[in-house]
Chain A
Amino acid sequence: MKVRVLFFGATAEAVGKREIEFSLAENTNASEARTEILEAFPNLKKYFGKSLLFAINQEYASGDEIINNGDELAIFTAVSGG
């Protein structure tokens, strides 16, 4: 199945893109998807590693959420608005 993955700020600069299409196996959960995306983009792993936050369809993910075809994923660093 296919999902969209969005990057913002520091992660967008590390990847060199703001949005990609990514393939995942059926029934992949948030934790597994995060690992696969970090494997695909070594800069993310190298620069940010475990500090990255992960969202599915504009909601923070905790790890065991099942991802569906067409979902909007996002990977970003700890937020710094204000």
Chain B
Amino acid sequence: MSDEEIQNPKSKIQNPGDFFELTNEPIDVGKVARRIVPSESGATVTLDGYVRQWTKGKETLYLIYEAYEPMALKEMGRLIETAHARFEIAHVGIVHRLGKLEIGETSVVISVSAPHRKAAFEACGWLIKELKRTVPIWKKEVYAGGEVWIEGENHGANVN
């Protein structure tokens, strides 16, 4: 990601120092992590989620990610606010890639800085679990013999 793109995110920053974005460009993991390091922090935990080639013996050729962009950004912002309320953390940065991703390319980065590492680990784990449950982004897996839109865990509170 270029500096220009970083300065022009597709999202509004709610807590200064936090950010959440969707991008069609490759994600520079280190750059995401370095954007959230205030002086009172002592540790940053970063998740680098990338495209897996083999799932239970089946080979993936590539993935396509699609988002309901405005709602995805709202939900990402909400997750960060909730993380601040639940964990002793300083800042959070989340960037999710969209479009076609090759094997090994980074699909999502979540970086959490905190005064102490324990809260950063816990918050990062909580954030990816919730992102996969509530943020409206979908992946299509393309195999040699076909393709399928993956369905995640069902969101608890919805219309029956």
Contacts and interface: CB of A to CB of B under 8 A. Distances in A.
**Main secondary structure on chain B at its contact with chain A?**
mixed
B56 to A, nearest CB: 16
Given A78-B152, A81-B131, A82-B49, A61 B138 contact: no
Contact of A9 (B72, B128, B134, B138): B138
20 contacts: A8-B67, A8-B68, A9-B140, A10-B138, A34-B159, A53-B154, A53-B159, A54-B159, A62-B159, A63-B160, A74-B136, A76-B68, A77-B149, A79-B155, A80-B138, A81-B65, A81-B72, A81-B132, A81-B137, A82-B107
Interface in B107-150: 107-108, 128, 131-140, 149-150
Nearest to A64: B159
Q: How large is the interface on B (under 10, 10 to 19, 20 to 34, 35 or more residues)?
A: 20 to 34
